[in-house]
Amino acid sequence: MSFQRAVFLCLAVFVLGVPAPAHADNPTPLTIFHNHTNAVGYSLSDGRAKPFVLTSTTIWRDYKDGQHSSNTILRQAGSYFREDFTYSGSTDSFGFDGSAFWTSSDNGVLEADTGYGRPFDVTWAVVNAEGFDSGLPAELRTGSQSAYVVRIHPAGGVPADIYFDRTTWLIDQVILDPDGDSVREEYADYKAFGPIQVATTRRINDSTTTVNSVSWDATVSAADLSAPTAKSGEAVFPDSGVVSVPFDPHDGVIVDATINGVPGKFVIDTFTPGILIDPVMAQHANLVKSADDARFAFTNASYLSGLPPATIKIGGLTLQNCNIRLFSNNFDFHQQPYDGYLGLDVLGKAVTSIDFDANRITFTDPAKFIAPTDKLMLPIALDGGIPQIIAFANGSKKVYMQLGLAFQETTYFWQKFLESNPDIAYSAGGFSGYMHSFKLGPYEQNTVRVQSIRFPPGFSDETGANGIVGYGVLDAFNLILDYPNSKIYISPTKRSAP
């Protein structure tokens, strides 16, 4: 449901000196870090790290057993990096500029990861930049016959268990958030690239990444590390800067829109990081030649087939030269027969007002938007283009929630969270059922339905959030989604007002 970020890197130079004994019975984490540094030849803090450029290919199979592949270019200088991920001719980017982790969509929507997924970004950055030193809080855990296990606690990050080989001191695997919905990355096949060695095979979930090349001590400029400035998907408003259209409130916020002049029904979806269309719509709009070309992945929902640039119109709002992706869940979720999903690449370019009293949606040019004074403002954070908010369950329990307008139920929680907080739902064993109350700002709803979501081991969503607020809660409010300023404005609808 959301993007899983891991920079595919592990560097190791030939041993330049005699390492510490490889079979010490009870080494401290600092000793393990020291031996690891000797093995790889540098750490982030010792000044010996060199800028580098790494290229890799990732392969996975979809639910029809069709093979897919993507290419990644990673440029890094110290803790700064930029990663460009290209799949089917469409490129997204992710990076760190010294203070913020940023994401740029293939339509040029740039946003900082300021939400509950940032701790995952922090820990991955520490691991991938070889940030193991005396300043990193760590503890020795129960290991295996072949590896020492050190749990690190990066400031601002999630814990991670690092498996250091007892003989080579190189990393065998990393498990992020080990006590939660853990994410495991495996390292294998170290090979030499000039003066360094690289784990050329990396595995996360059901995808395998192979490193193709590494240029150590490369020329990496500030521009190479900066976010892209592409103008793809540029939004064109009328002179008024405002576009208002009706929507169908059944099964979501459904609007009429066209792709290359072909009309369809599209859901406004805060949980979609871009713009997605169904294979049938893609055929009608002549974006694929046949049904055989409409291949899409279910097992990796962020890996979505790219299509030729298109023009999208929603009333008087036009998105020109817009990159879109092919995706459908209609075969599995028959209650959502949409032609497409309009997410970040629309919502990030406009201030979007959803009026459930009038069943109208309004898109406003951010430069012409005037904040309302009669609605409650709540801050939101964005991670991978998905908005997140703080709410309260059963009166006082703070919960961190993602906003999911296209989710038909009321609320969803990760099962790990429900297992740790059995007081959330009061029926069905504490893993689903009902909350006594759910509160956004001062507005409280009673007897709110709870659904449980369980990730298979190793498939964590990496959000840090506890769950999702669905359509069944959000449609009680008139909403203004101000992504450019990280705010949401809410007011009760007439039918839900006290």
State whether the Cα torsion 160-164-170-172 is positive or negative.
Answer: negative
Report CA 242 to chain centroid distance, whole Å.
Answer: 30
State whether the Cα torsion 289-291-293-294 is positive or negative.
Answer: positive
pLDDT reading at 388 higher than 60? yes
Q: Which of 186, 216, 192, 190 is nearest to 75 (CA)?
A: 216
Predicted local distance difference test score (pLDDT) of residue 116: 82
Q: Which of 189, 498, 243 is nearest to 361 (CA)?
A: 243
| pLDDT tens sequence across 221-251 | 999 999 887 666 688 999 999 999 999 998 8
d(CA 466, CA 451): 12
| pLDDT tens sequence across 177-208 | 898 778 899 999 988 887 777 899 999 877 89
* pLDDT band per the 50, 70, 90 thresholds, residue 23: very low
Global pTM exceeds 0.85: no
d(CA 421, CA 3): 26
| pLDDT tens sequence across 40-55 | 877 888 878 899 999 9
Q: Residue 365, CB half-sphere, CA atoms under 13 Å: how many? A: 14
> What average pLDDT does this structure show over 30-38?
92
Residue 310's DSSP bridge partners are 322
d(CA 150, CA 171): 11
d(CA 243, CA 322): 19
* pLDDT band per the 50, 70, 90 thresholds, residue 301: very low
d(CA 253, CA 313): 16
CB atoms inside a 10 Å sphere around CB 182: 19
3-state secondary structure 228-257: CCCCCCEEECCCCCEEEEECECCCCCEEEE
* 130-144, 151-165, 285-299, 448-462: the lowest-pLDDT one: 285-299
**How many percent of the chain have pLDDT more than 90?**
53
Predicted local distance difference test score (pLDDT) of residue 45: 84
Structure tokens at 450: 């709870």
Q: Which helix or strand (DSSP H or E) is residue 332 part of?
A: none
Predicted local distance difference test score (pLDDT) of residue 66: 65
- The three-class DSSP label of residue 34 is helix
Residue 8 amino acid letter: F
Q: Which of 288-292, 451-455, 488-492 has the highest mean pLDDT?
A: 488-492
Q: Please, what is the average pLDDT of the chain?
A: 84
Q: Which of 46, 89, 97, 92 is nearest to 68 (CA)?
A: 89
Start-to-end CA distance of the chain, whole Å, equals 35
pLDDT reading at 334 higher than 70? no
> What average pLDDT does this structure show over 382-391?
89
Residue 128 amino acid letter: N
Cα three-residue angle 242-115-128, rounded to 5 degrees = 125
d(CA 424, CA 419): 9
